[in-house]
Structure 1
Amino acid sequence: MRVTRERPAGAARQASSAGRTSGFKRIATGLLMVTFLSGCAVGPDYQTPNMSVPGSWKNADSSTPASVPKLAYWWTKLGDSQLDHLIAQAIESNLDVRTAKAKIRAARASYKQSNASLFPSLDGSAAVTRAKTATSASGNVNTVWNGGFDAGWELDLFGANRRSREAAQYGLDAAEEELRSTMLTLIGDVATNYVQARGFQQRLALAQRTANSQGETAKLTRNRFQAGSSSGVDVANAEGQASSTLANIPTLKTALAASVHRLGVLTGQEPTALTSQLAASKRIPRPRLPLPAGVPANVLLARPDVRLAERQLAQSTAAIGQAEAARYPSVSLTGAIATSATDLGDIGKNSSISWSFGPSLSVPLFNAGKLAAAVELAEAQRDQSFLAYRASVLGALEDVENALVGFTQERRRLAALSKSADSYREASKLSQSLYKTGAVSFLDVLDTDRSTYSAEDTLIQSQVLLTTYYISLHKALGGGWNGDVNADKPEVVDENTGPRLAKAISG
């Protein structure tokens, strides 16, 4: 239904001063009513849900106290400048991070679109027409000049557009949290692969040293066999053990290459870009103690994936209001001003101007339950978001508890393995001395040598695993990059986008 009031071009002004005053009062009254009604909204107002979390971590100990952790740039505490450089390079160039930045730009544009729906729109038009009418006896050609403006404004009485803007704002918040979550995961992946690469280098060096030593032992045993002072069994055992250790080297080289290749891709480069840079073996980064773990409630504030799920819940809640508002009437104000003249100089004169103004009302009368179903759909999607938020909280708590128990137990295991490796090294020296005096057999020497290599290799793996738990704990607590991240720069800069002659499309 639409009501309009028109004033034809050239009509004489007949309204009195009293009539104009009365009209202004009606307009003012109408605007006040519109202002009042535009404050209305339907659908639920979002409130952050209360989540019950434990007051302390169950698997924390003296090495992981409840003091407030310093989560920003946590990897710098490992004291490895090369790792610091790789993480900074990954934050700058990683493709997942750059994709998340593009999502932020998309969310900002979506918010601007939603915000624009709250304001009036205005379009202008202009035209000139030359025409000869068939009824013209003189054959004159007439020129008609036209111009005008069309305006429209949806009053948003029940908040559909405001809910849309609200949802877009929550969507923008979610996109920013997604970027933070992506960076948190990226930093953890870079640190983990770097530590693993250093571990493989240490294990590879150990295997090569051990294989060289065992090879010398096998050569010496063969020489003694040829001299008649050793048996063929001793030669076979010595050579077999040396070959067994050598067989570990290709596997370790393959694993080392895979870690280095992963680091190359994580830093936004081709896989082998860091091969020469990481060729030199370095120590395995070790965490410093104590390692503050804070309290469980901190996770809800620090974990970007939890905050992302919460913003998505807010966005889906606003979507219910959008769907609900569609079931109510909508009112728009439309207006137009037009001018038409056969002489360009007459454009804009009072006699050539016409205008129209009036509200339009749209009322949903029958839609076979479509709009009601849309509300039910939005509510069900909100419920899914709510459960996803709860799942993210529980998952975050689980991640921290797992990392805490892993870190605590691995520290104990590492201490035991260190003593074990020391004992086996001492046993290996003693067995060599006793063998020379004939107190033990050559098989005893080979057995202690094999046990020493296994203990030292397991010790290195435990050192890697301890640092990996340290990384996992900081990821679980929400530690990450706290510096500025510029999401405004587009990945593709288009050129020559203005008006131009179109090129033929080649098939």
Structure 2
Amino acid sequence: MTKMTSAAGDPGLLRKQQFRIRQMLGLLVLSSCLAGCVVGPDYQKPLISMPGKWGSSKQAKAPKPAELSNWWQRLRDPELNALVEEAVAGNLDVASAKAKIREARATYRQTAGTLLPSVDGSASATRTRTSAASTGTSAQISSQFETGFDASWELDLFGANKRSTEAAKYGLDAAGEDLRSTSLTLVGDVTSYYAQARGYQARIALARRTAASQRETAALTRTKFEAGSSSAVDVANASGLANSTEAEIPSLETSYAEAVHRLSVLTGRPPAALTERLKRSTPIPTPRLPVPTGVPADILLTRPDVRMAERQYAQYTAKVGQAEAARYPSVSLTGNIDTTALNVGDLGKNSSIGWSFGPTLSVPLFSGGQKKAAVEVAQAQRDQYFVAYRSSVLTALEDVENAIVSLAQERIRNGKLAASAKHYRDAASLSRSLYQSGTSSFLDVLDAERSLYTAEDALLQSRVAIATDYIALNKALGGGWSGLIDAGKPEVKDTNTGPHITTSNRQLAQQQ
């Protein structure tokens, strides 16, 4: 056991210890000052030139800002509103994005911990028996107890850990934007498939009504044929037209079922879960128009994919500094204190106490160019994410421009189709009356009914297209779910995580 000397009885030893303490304090102050130093580029949000207005805009006055909050509610369909809420709560892509946020949060906390000292505690107990042959006396049994603490702190003189923490924080921001982007895509998909499903229902109903009308015309033609005022060709054409219209129904039924199945999966349910719920037909969702679009610069703030790309660019800018700091010296402070005694009650009292404290300097001298290459790798990755950010901005602008043009032109087309359907409806009614009176040929009736069905079917498809273009425009502008999404709740709830026997070992023990 080492005997400890008291400094109180030796003034010279006391002065030496005081000098060491002052050295340590001075080193800590210097380290704290240097800890604020970082290397590598400091991130600055890039300035991107944006057009002053949308290319298709002809308004002289300033446009109204986009109304993106709960934009799907302007389709005025309560069933759709309910499905959107259910999808956000149950969709598996959203659940995956929430797990990524939890991962990013944990990574940030883990990385931030490197900025703080680490302290470990230890304790040991040893019991020794010395044989009588080795001591020349009777056997002796002795005990020794030891406890202590070890501490270490990397001073982060050139900001390697700080840059790593900075990158983790940007990564957490990017994960949040990824969740917003996922929910935006989800809301758009749910509304699109719902509009398509209602459109298929309307088209199926139209095909059945038209086929029934054409069957009546075929029956009338057969009656006229039996009376000798019509030909067998007319009867065959009338029956063929009805069969042709009925042949459209199975394909429409298939498309409708696929849309419903997709909606069910988007809400996190089995494919057939919504079949009974959506069986009753309702009108095709009709949006409130026109849609305010704001100015192009707004998408830098509203589009989550653009915001995510910007955060990723910031993240990889910080990683350049992290790689650069690895080329500089590093200093760490380590220390420990321990106490040893023959009895547990004597620890810290009648025991030997030892301690050590000092810095460790690590200087990179030669690495064969690996550290410089690592910096170049980080710079190249940073450049890729900068280009990706610029690309996301251009893609967002393109999406909005395309959606604006598509919606405007489809509205024009819809007006023409509505007028066309009205005229063909009048023509079909008139031709059928003339045919019944014998003043018109059956070919006129055949052509009018075929044209009427085509026009009415195209009009229904156009209504679906308007709803789809409205949805696409709001998605392009950055409109998504604006409500709260709880990302802190894990999908898998772990139980019995403390020390325990594994299930396989327990089963093995029971077998033996």
TM-score under structure 2 length normalisation: 0.95
Q: Percent identity?
A: 57
- Aligned residue in 1 for 2:79: 82
Amino acid at match of 2:5: A
| Within-5 A mapping of 1:315-464 | 315-349=315-349, 351-464=351-464
Range with greater deviation from structure 2 (200-209 or 7-16): 7-16
Q: Does 1:39 align with 2:36?
A: yes
DSSP-derived class of the 1:410 partner: helix
| Within-5 A mapping of 1:151-300 | 151-300=151-300
- Aligned residue in 1 for 2:106: 109
- Aligned residue in 2 for 1:73: 70
Of structures 1 and 2, the one with the larger relative CO (CA 8 A, separation 6+) is 1
DSSP-derived class of the 2:126 partner: strand
Checking the alignment, whether the CA contact within 8 Å between 1:91 and 1:97 is kept in structure 2 is yes
Distance between the aligned counterparts of 1:454 and 1:8, measured in 2?
104
Superposed displacement of residue 501, structure 1: 2.7
Deviations 1:18-67 (A, max 9, x none): 44443343233222211111111011111111111111001235699821
TM-score under structure 1 length normalisation: 0.96
DSSP-derived class of the 2:485 partner: coil
Checking the alignment, whether the CA contact within 8 Å between 2:341 and 2:350 is kept in structure 1 is no
Superposed displacement of residue 350, structure 1: 6.1
Checking the alignment, whether the CA contact within 8 Å between 1:313 and 1:389 is kept in structure 2 is yes
- Aligned residue in 2 for 1:131: 128
Amino acid at match of 1:22: F
- Aligned residue in 1 for 2:480: 480
Deviations 1:338-383 (A, max 9, x none): 1112222321136411111111111111111111111111101001
Checking the alignment, whether the CA contact within 8 Å between 1:9 and 1:350 is kept in structure 2 is no
Please, which runs of 5 or more residues in structure 1 have no aligned partner?
A: 1-6
Q: What number of residue pairs does the alignment pair up?
A: 501
Checking the alignment, whether the CA contact within 8 Å between 1:9 and 1:354 is kept in structure 2 is no
- Aligned residue in 1 for 2:497: 497
- Aligned residue in 1 for 2:24: 27
Range with greater deviation from structure 2 (61-70 or 217-226): 61-70
Distance between the aligned counterparts of 2:70 and 2:62, measured in 1?
19
DSSP-derived class of the 2:115 partner: coil
Checking the alignment, whether the CA contact within 8 Å between 1:65 and 1:293 is kept in structure 2 is no
Distance between the aligned counterparts of 1:298 and 1:63, measured in 2?
18
Deviations 1:131-158 (A, max 9, x none): 2246333321221111111100000001
Superposed displacement of residue 333, structure 1: 0.5
Task: Say which of 5, 11, 27 aligns to 1:11.
Answer: 5
DSSP-derived class of the 2:378 partner: helix
Deviations 1:187-235 (A, max 9, x none): 0000000000110011010000001111121122223223322111001
Checking the alignment, whether the CA contact within 8 Å between 1:43 and 1:320 is kept in structure 2 is yes
Superposed displacement of residue 439, structure 1: 2.7
Checking the alignment, whether the CA contact within 8 Å between 2:337 and 2:353 is kept in structure 1 is yes
Please, which runs of 5 or more residues in structure 2 have no aligned partner?
A: none
Distance between the aligned counterparts of 2:347 and 2:502, measured in 1?
35
Amino acid at match of 2:36: G
Distance between the aligned counterparts of 2:5 and 2:368, measured in 1?
47
Checking the alignment, whether the CA contact within 8 Å between 2:156 and 2:162 is kept in structure 1 is yes
Distance between the aligned counterparts of 2:16 and 2:472, measured in 1?
77
Amino acid at match of 2:142: N
Checking the alignment, whether the CA contact within 8 Å between 1:34 and 1:155 is kept in structure 2 is yes
Checking the alignment, whether the CA contact within 8 Å between 2:330 and 2:361 is kept in structure 1 is yes
DSSP-derived class of the 2:395 partner: helix
Checking the alignment, whether the CA contact within 8 Å between 2:341 and 2:351 is kept in structure 1 is no
Superposed displacement of residue 504, structure 1: 3.4
Amino acid at match of 1:396: A
Range with greater deviation from structure 2 (92-101 or 346-355): 346-355
Superposed displacement of residue 12, structure 1: 3.6
Task: Say which of 45, 51, 55 aligns to 2:52.
Answer: 55
Distance between the aligned counterparts of 1:86 and 1:459, measured in 2?
26
Deviations 1:66-112 (A, max 9, x none): 21111010011111111100001001110000110010000000000
Distance between the aligned counterparts of 1:90 and 1:136, measured in 2?
81
Checking the alignment, whether the CA contact within 8 Å between 2:149 and 2:336 is kept in structure 1 is yes
1:42/1:362 CA distance change after superposition, 3 Å = same
Checking the alignment, whether the CA contact within 8 Å between 2:340 and 2:351 is kept in structure 1 is no
Checking the alignment, whether the CA contact within 8 Å between 1:424 and 1:452 is kept in structure 2 is yes
Distance between the aligned counterparts of 1:211 and 1:133, measured in 2?
107
DSSP-derived class of the 1:348 partner: coil
- Aligned residue in 2 for 1:3: none
